[in-house]
Amino acid sequence: MRHGILLLYEELNKRGVEWTLGPLALAFSIGLTYEPLLDVAIYVEDLARIDVNELLKWGIIRIFKVAEPGFSNRAIYVRGLPCISPRDISKSIRLNPDYPLLKLLEKTFSSK
């Protein structure tokens, strides 16, 4: 997973796209789920610079749209990889009405 993420990081950087790993990857990284889910958080205005189908070839299952630029500077590093911060998740949740984050959290905490 790490090698693919680093290649994706290089590709997105070449295009000037701000990104971090998304909420699903963060949840997996800190042990809230046992499913290795890979998603990317991208500033909503940068989405025009990428082809969503291209992200699928990297194994990305979801894109979490982020409301404010500069979110990558507030990233939380888990195992050396940048993940979106809880602050940016909460500020951006309205942009992602069909995102499975809430279902994942509900499933995780109801089983404990």
| Domain spans, the chain | 2-110
Q: In this predicted model, what pLDDT tens digit does every residue of 8-47 receive, in sequence order?
A: 778 888 888 999 999 988 888 888 777 777 889 999 999 8
pLDDT at 111: 54
Q: In this predicted model, what pLDDT tens digit does every residue of 47-98 receive, in sequence order?
A: 888 887 777 777 777 889 999 999 999 999 988 889 999 999 989 989 998 8
* Cα radius of gyration (the chain): 13
Parallel, antiparallel, or unpaired for β 62-66 and 39-43? Answer: parallel
pLDDT at 28: 82
Closest listed residue to residue 39, CA positions, set 54, 57, 26, 53: 26
| Residues paired with 63 in a beta bridge | 40
Global pTM? 0.82
CA gap 63, 12 in Å, rounded: 13
CA gap 93, 91 in Å, rounded: 6
